[in-house]
Chain A
Amino acid sequence: MLLPQRSWINRSVRGTSAEARAGKWFLSVLAFVAIVVPIFNQLVPPTSAFHLSAYALTLIGKYMCFAMLAMAVDLIWGYCGILSLGHAAFFSLGGYAMGMYLMRQIGPRGVYGDPVLPDFMVFLNWKSLPWFWYGFNHFIFAAVMMLLVPALVALVFGWFAFRSRVTGVYFSIITQALSYALMLAFFRNDMGFGGNNGFTDFKDLLGFDLHSDRTRVVLLLLTAAALAASYLACRAIVESRAGRVLRAIRDAESRTRFLGYPVESFKLWVFVFSAVIAGIAGALYVPQIGIINPGEFAPINSIEVVIWVAVGGRGTLFGAAAGAVLVNYAKTYFTGALPEVWLYALGSMFIFVTLFLPRGIIGLVQSRIKAK
């Protein structure tokens, strides 16, 4: 890669070798999932006790999308000290872009059978497709939008915020406001995004039936690949000199500026990049879950992401991913077994981690390993 091969650099400057080891673990686990899941779903017959159900496939795919989102948040929060409480917005924007493509794919198979207009538009008595829906019948165009829309929103928002030197808790609050404003906007029927119902009833993606297990397995594999690629990209950033500048900004922003680094531009770059990863995660999430609605923009969702990162281990990329999977597994379990307990469990988990595990579960594991 981009790293010069000097032994002591790898030891002292490029972060601990524990980080590199954990990275190998992380990628190995991903590869393991990518190999085992298709086998247990496709090759093991449904009658067998070992058969992996479609429900489990969806769950694993969802966890991986959340892991990507957590990594995106960790990149800017853990490494650059920018606490975004609005990343669910970028996730949802990517999801909506995918949703628009999937809606156009339904074509005349909708309830109202209109060849062009999605059902909700027919229902609202619209006569023609709004201009911003043009092009979404082409996958390539939609795919570009999945990246471009979150990137542009992050660019404009970040440009204003960073240029005005909005930092710390003030930045967090306006990211909440951004997410909330988008939620309200997407709730409105006349916005042209399906109002509070959002998009659902998807049929197929690039001609592949979204309800078949085979398509779901492929989507899961693509998600695993995207997660691995995001991980490697984030690591390339944090292990480069730019990554050290980000950590310098996190720890002493004005000192970094005084050294001659354009702090605002660094923040903007990494913020936009992080929004793009969140957007890709959202775009992969929607076809697997089968629905996207404005509830995804809810401010609480963004806050939850921050909890995943804190629980897993802020400032380690794999830690953020692990936290996302762990907390969401707990969520799946609790909301099934003891639904009224979940929010309390989430809250106490956050308080416990903040008080006793400042470096999250990964930090705990690492210090245990070191102690041995």
Chain B
Amino acid sequence: MTIRDKVLYLEKVTVSFDGFKALNELSLYVDPGELLCIIGPNGAGKTTMMDVVTGKTRPDSGTAWFGRDIDLLKLSEPQIAQIGIGRKFQKPTVFEQLTVFENLELALAGNRSFMKTFLATMAAAQHQRVDEVLEIIGLTDQRAAPGRTLSHGQKQWLEIGMLLMQEPELLLVDEPVAGMTPQEIERTSELLLSLAGEHSVVVVEHDMEFVRSIARRVIVLHEGRVIAEGDMDHVQNHPHVIEVYLGV
């Protein structure tokens, strides 16, 4: 297997907390433009895996590569965000007092210093970018609404939109549909599906129905390692998976 054309490549990553192995020689890869779902019971290491990729947690051993030649283990959190890995946390946090438009504006890639932001004006291209993202996340009509007036689902989309403003190559999305209504879940699957292709998307999710509706490739984690991989049907019929995760 060649690792050179992967967006993300983890090899034998081990993370232990006080002797407990959150990740146990985990190896996985993400293809360019794919939508990968990662499922697994609580404590399987899903969030720890994301922490390693975004630089929040340093592994005890193993390697993590982004693209051809970027060693993620050598970079800090902000540096990793800069090179194009965006992460959406479980709990949505948008700026409540700022409008949807302003939320996206602040997420816009660009110089972050006080003076530069004080003097910043929006170029036509940046406007277009905000408009595009508003379209993608379906909040065009809410552009002038303050963040606090959005529904839970809309906040989640706005946050995905804020990630998109930073034009990441790889999007890590943690439990995007937790607490959503069925209609919102449906909108979210459409949104994530539309993002794949241009971006690589990794979704960590508990909701099996949701995963079934979007996944092309599913990875099942258990006790810090991959126990099954493939499409949803394959994974769901895998004896080991049935044993540890799907129950019965």
Binding site for B on A (CB under 8 A): 2-4, 6, 8-9, 11-13, 237, 240-242, 244-245, 247-248, 250-252, 255-256, 258-262, 265-266, 269-270
27 contacts between A and B (CB under 8 A): A2-B118, A3-B121, A4-B121, A12-B99, A12-B101, A13-B101, A13-B102, A13-B105, A240-B119, A241-B117, A241-B118, A242-B118, A244-B106, A247-B97, A248-B98, A251-B97, A252-B93, A252-B96, A255-B93, A258-B81, A259-B107, A260-B78, A260-B82, A260-B112, A262-B112, A262-B113, A265-B114
Distance, CA A261 to CA B107, complexed state (A): 10
Distance, CA A3 to CA B143, complexed state (A): 19
Write the chain A residue with the least CB distance to B77: A258
How many chain B residues have a CB neighbour from A under 8 Å? 27
Write the chain B residue with the least CB distance to A267: B114
Neighbour of A13 across the interface among B99, B117, B119, B162, CB < 8 A: B99
Contact string against A for B residues 112-145, beta-carbon threshold 8 Å, 1 for contact and 0 otherwise: 1110011111100001000000000000000110
> Does any Cβ of A come within 8 Å of B95's Cβ?
yes
Residues of A near B97 (CB, < 8 A) are: 247, 250-251
Write the chain B residue with the least CB distance to A260: B112
Please provide the 4 A-B residue pairs with the shortest distance between their CB atoms, ordered closest to farther: A12-B144, A242-B118, A242-B117, A241-B120
Among A6, A9, A244: residue with most chain B CB under 10 A = A244
Contact A244 B113 (CB under 8 A): no
Among B96, B114, B162: residue with most chain A CB under 10 A = B114
> B133 → chain A, closest Cβ, in Å?
15
Q: A4-B121, A11-B144 are in contact. Are A244 and B98 (CB under 8 A)?
A: yes
Contact string against A for B residues 69-88, beta-carbon threshold 8 Å, 1 for contact and 0 otherwise: 00000000010011000000
Residues of A near B113 (CB, < 8 A) are: 262, 265
Q: Is the interface of A mostly helix, strand, loop or mixed?
A: helix
Contact A242 B121 (CB under 8 A): no
Contact A252 B95 (CB under 8 A): yes
Binding site for A on B (CB under 8 A): 78, 81-82, 93, 95-99, 101-102, 105-107, 112-114, 117-122, 127, 143-144, 162
Supplied contacts A13-B99, A241-B118, A245-B106, 10 more A-B pairs, CB within 8 Å: A2-B121, A12-B144, A13-B101, A237-B118, A240-B118, A241-B106, A244-B98, A251-B97, A259-B107, A270-B114
Write the chain A residue with the least CB distance to B78: A260
Contact B101 A247 (CB under 8 A): no
Distance, CA A181 to CA B121, complexed state (A): 43
Distance, CA A13 to CA B113, complexed state (A): 20
Write the chain B residue with the least CB distance to A14: B102
Write the chain A residue with the least CB distance to B82: A260
Write the chain B residue with the least CB distance to A243: B118
> B76 → chain A, closest Cβ, in Å?
12
Distance, CA A247 to CA B106, complexed state (A): 11
Contact A247 B144 (CB under 8 A): no
Q: A247-B98, A269-B114 are in contact. Are A240 and B93 (CB under 8 A)?
A: no
> A19 → chain B, closest Cβ, in Å?
14
Distance, CA A244 to CA B101, complexed state (A): 11
Residues of B near A250 (CB, < 8 A) are: 97
Distance, CA A2 to CA B117, complexed state (A): 11
Distance, CA A2 to CA B116, complexed state (A): 12
> A234 → chain B, closest Cβ, in Å?
12
Write the chain B residue with the least CB distance to A266: B114
Residues of B near A2 (CB, < 8 A) are: 118-119, 121
Residues of A near B101 (CB, < 8 A) are: 12-13
> B187 → chain A, closest Cβ, in Å?
23
Distance, CA A159 to CA B162, complexed state (A): 30
Contact B162 A259 (CB under 8 A): yes
Distance, CA A256 to CA B144, complexed state (A): 20
Residues of A near B119 (CB, < 8 A) are: 2, 240
Residues of B near A13 (CB, < 8 A) are: 99, 101-102, 105, 144
Write the chain A residue with the least CB distance to B143: A12
Contact A241 B78 (CB under 8 A): no
Distance, CA A251 to CA B93, complexed state (A): 10
Contact A260 B81 (CB under 8 A): yes
Residues of A near B95 (CB, < 8 A) are: 247-248, 251-252, 255-256
